Structure 1
Amino acid sequence: MSTQIESPLIQLSNISRRYQMGSETITALDKVNLCIQRNEYLAFIGASGSGKSTMMNILGCLDTPSEGQYMLNDKNVAHLQDLELARTRNQEIGFIFQSFNLLARATALQNVMQPLIYRGIRPTERKRRALDALQRVGLSQRIDHLPNQLSGGQRQRVAIARALCGEPSILLADEPTGNLDSATTKDIMALFDELHAEGQTVILVTHETEIAAHCRRTVRLSDGRIQSDEWR
């Protein structure tokens, strides 16, 4: 009896990204090859200019590579048109940003429901999913609060709930603790640890080794190339 080998969630093959700056060509990523399986907990780490932000943009379908193949859930998304790319982002990626990116005049519940509107999900189902996500991040008592009525840690929890609400294949977090104090950072990273333990694929982009240390795998970038790929 043969055992079917599960294909990677993400497979990057010879991914390069170049930008034209006047007469100069800047290579942000240079022939990167990488596989990421489902339920991995991975950090991309590197100094400013190492290529980690470009990597996040490519993985999150916010940008397309100049060359190479990006397989996401068995679909080549490397050169999709904008509409298809947006649909893939909405269905596959849950984004979490350093600056939270919450709507200032919307409650926590409304912020979390927002991405589901674009999927055409009915209001009752949107609310059910949003309430579940807010409970999952420990904010069921704050659903009617506006962002300015929440602490930094609570705002980031709302952002995480918003990302989870769409049931994404990947949670993709860009410097998710950059605006938080050390105690709140510890709480947010504990939440990421829990989400990974529950089966969520979590990918962090960070320049902090303390944050990367939470992850099971650390990929260090330098000058647009993978310098090291370590498991723990």
Structure 2
Amino acid sequence: MIGGSEYMLTMDLTTADLGYGAGDPVLRDVTVTARPGEILAVTGTSGAGKTTLLSALAGLLAPRSGTVTADGSPLGDRDAAVGRGVVLIPQENGLAAILTAAENVSVAVIATGGTPADARRRTADALAAVGLAGQANQLIEELSGGQQQRAAIARGLALRGRVVLADEVTSELDAANRQKVLELLRAEAARGATVVLATHDPEAAAACDRELHLADGTASWTRS
């Protein structure tokens, strides 16, 4: 629910398809509610539809039919979702290679209504949280794959979303940094955010509160 004291995101595609263009649907018959204060894992092999599901929850992909709602009303497109506090940390990071790690974070904070002072403070805090304080002024293209992934996570954390959608955000990380990121996502849930983590990592999924598994175009609850 986005608004009030709780933030819940619901997708009801019980009789609907979710896919791109006119081809076969990627997912069908999906009903899922992501609750405030918890981490929902979305699991499945590569190509199972994890990114597709998160794209719909982020307002990037409209279902062919069915609904995605926040606070009981339609979520809307990506601009509307951003305005309602839905943060997406994409699998491909989405960082600007010609900007520094700090600039990537600060620009996002300012673009969503933060002041320059807010941006400086949140950027420093978020980069420190993911262990990148020393790389704040390095260009993204100068960072390793794991460092880039952590910079994208820092940007997502700095936005302080009511809903945080994290798409395979531990795939490039070693065990220590993976654990740190899972702790940070847990902290987001603890402050009342709704957190959805798409992952193929069984250990990361086990650290979440519930698990929705995608296979053969459908979804089933592993832990509900």
Same fold (TM over 0.5): yes
Do residues 144 (structure 1) and 137 (structure 2) align?
A: yes
Tell me the SS of whatever aligns to 1:202: strand
- Whether the aligned pair in 1 keeps the contact of 2:12 and 2:66 (CA below 8 Å) is yes
Q: Map of 1:2-81 to 2, 5 A cutoff?
A: 9-14=8-13, 15-20=16-21, 25-77=23-75, 80=76
TM-score (norm 1): 0.79
| Aligned equivalent of 2:121 | 128
- TM-score, with length taken from structure 2: 0.82
Q: Letter of the aligned partner of 1:11 in structure 2?
A: T
In 1: Cα distance, 2:147 partner to 2:191 partner: 21
Whether 1:103 and 2:102 are equivalent positions in the alignment is no
1:163 is matched with: 156
Q: Which of 207, 219, 222 is matched with 1:214 structurally? A: 207
Q: Which residue of 2 aligns with 1:196?
A: 189
Secondary structure in structure 1 of the residue aligned to 2:51: helix
Q: CA deviation at 1:175?
A: 1.2
CA-CA distance at 1:70 after TM superposition: 1.1
Q: Deviations over 1:159-208 (max 9, x none)?
A: 11211222211221111122234444344334333443444432111222
The equivalent of 1:205 in structure 2 is 198
| Alignment partner of 1:94 is 2:87 | yes
Mark the structure with the bigger radius of gyration: 1
> Which segment is superposed worse, 105-114 or 141-150?
141-150
Quote how far apart the aligned CAs of 1:215 are.
0.8
| Counterpart AA for 1:144 | N
C-alpha deviations, 1:125-146, integer Å up to 9, x for none?
3323323333443434432232
Deviation of 1:75 (Å):
2.6
Partner SS state of residue 94, structure 2: coil
**Pair 1:181–1:138, CA change in 2 (3 A):** closer
Question: Which secondary structure state, in structure 2, belongs to the residue aligned with residue 27 of structure 1?
Answer: coil
Change (3 A) 1:227 1:114: same
Structure 2: gaps (5+ residues):
none
Note the residue ranges of structure 1 that are not aligned, 5 or more in a row: 1-5
